[in-house]
């Protein structure tokens, strides 16, 4: 099996962290280019959306997106990243983290691609950041018990989302006023699987 990935993608990083946390070392990681303006031909052939992560399998069709792949990998390893007793909370928290990533990746694309043509829309960037800020406030206010408990997929998603904010939007200083979440992130980022996948 091959995971189509890229080092900076927070969505792909979720899957790479799950692979390491569940000790599945038999899946190759292949870096490919993915862009809203067109990406790798193999990626487009396997996943019509042209997005990473995409998991190529010999025994069946490709799997996407990151939520599907993480769940497949958890199932494959017989791991317990989806605790039955807290399933809906965990899935909602993962969705919350993915929404942070979507807004943050969209901001990156706005600056990178539309910026090339002087088309950057500052109000749109601020509105995306407002979504992220609301989500971070909700994490700080409501999600710390789930973040502090035994390892689950939502913790991995939140860790990857926060790592991406540091990578691309450090100027927005997400830690300001969110001491509890910031302290959690510091501890979670020290996990070997997070450290090994930290984007440069
Ligand atoms: N919902 C998808 C989002 C994946 C995604 O947006 N990946 C970005 C890279 S971080 C991508 O492939 N972008 C290329 C594009 O937008 O065409 C998931 O969870 O996997």
**What is the reported pLDDT for 97?**
98
List, in sequence order, every residue forming a beta bridge with 63; answer none if it has no partner.
55
**Conformation bin of residue 50: beta by default, left when phi > 0, alpha when psi is -120 to 50:** left
SS3 content of the chain, % helix, strand, coil (to 5): 65, 5, 30
Mean pLDDT across 79-90: 97
Q: How far is CA 36 from CA 32, 44, 51, 69, 154, in A?
A: 13, 11, 8, 21, 26
Name the token pair of 192.
């070997």
**What is the reported pLDDT for 39?**
86
pLDDT at residue 108 is higher than 90: yes
Whose C-alpha lies nearest to ligand 1, atom 15?
36
pLDDT at residue 29 is higher than 90: yes
Mean pLDDT across 68-76: 98
The backbone torsions φ and ψ at residue 158, rounded to the nearest 5 degrees and listed phi first, read -65, -45
Whose C-alpha lies nearest to ligand 1, atom 2?
65
pLDDT class for 3, splitting at 50, 70, 90?
very high
Is the minimum distance from the CB of 98 to ligand 1 under 6 angstroms? yes
Domains of the chain by start residue, with CATH:
2-77 (3.40.30.10), 84-195 (1.20.1050.10)
pLDDT at residue 175 is higher than 90: yes
pLDDT class for 177, splitting at 50, 70, 90?
very high
**What is the reported pLDDT for 163?**
98
**What is the reported pLDDT for 18?**
98
Whose C-alpha lies nearest to ligand 1, atom 12?
51
Mean pLDDT across 84-104: 98
Is the minimum distance from the CB of 36 to ligand 1 under 6 angstroms? yes
pLDDT at residue 144 is higher than 90: yes
Question: Mean pLDDT in the chain?
Answer: 97
Is the minimum distance from the CB of 22 to ligand 1 under 6 angstroms? no
Q: Probe ligand 1: pick from 17, 18, 31, 34, max atoms within 8 Å of CB?
A: 34
Q: Which helix (H) or strand (E) holds 56?
A: strand 54-56
- In this predicted model, what pLDDT tens digit does every residue of 129-138 receive, in sequence order? 999 999 999 9
Whose C-alpha lies nearest to ligand 1, atom 10?
9
Is the minimum distance from the CB of 50 to ligand 1 under 6 angstroms? yes
- Give me the percent of the chain exceeding a pLDDT of 70: 100
**What is the reported pLDDT for 93?**
98
Is the minimum distance from the CB of 168 to ligand 1 under 6 angstroms? no
């Amino acid at each position: 099996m091959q995971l189509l990935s890229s080092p900076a993608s927070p969505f792909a990083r979720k899957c790479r962290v799950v692979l390491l946390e569940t000790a599945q070392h038999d899946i190759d990681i292949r870096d490919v280019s993915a862009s809203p303006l067109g990406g790798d031909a193999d990626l487009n052939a396997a996943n019509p959306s042209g997005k990473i992560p995409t998991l190529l399998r010999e025994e069946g069709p490709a799997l996407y997106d990151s939520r599907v792949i993480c769940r497949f990998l958890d199932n494959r390893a017989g791991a317990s990243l989806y605790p039955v007793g807290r399933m809906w909370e965990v899935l909602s928290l993962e969705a919350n983290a993915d929404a942070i990533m979507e807004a943050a990746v969209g901001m990156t694309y706005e600056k990178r691609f539309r910026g090339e043509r002087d088309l950057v829309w500052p109000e749109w960037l601020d509105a995306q950041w407002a979504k992220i800020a609301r989500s971070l406030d909700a994490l700080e206010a409501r999600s710390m018990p789930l973040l502090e408990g035994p390892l689950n997929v939502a913790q991995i998603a939140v860790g990857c989302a926060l790592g991406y904010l540091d990578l691309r939007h450090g100027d927005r200083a997400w830690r300001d006023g969110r001491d509890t979440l910031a302290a959690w992130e510091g501890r979670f980022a020290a996990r070997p699987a997070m450290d090994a996948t930290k984007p440069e």
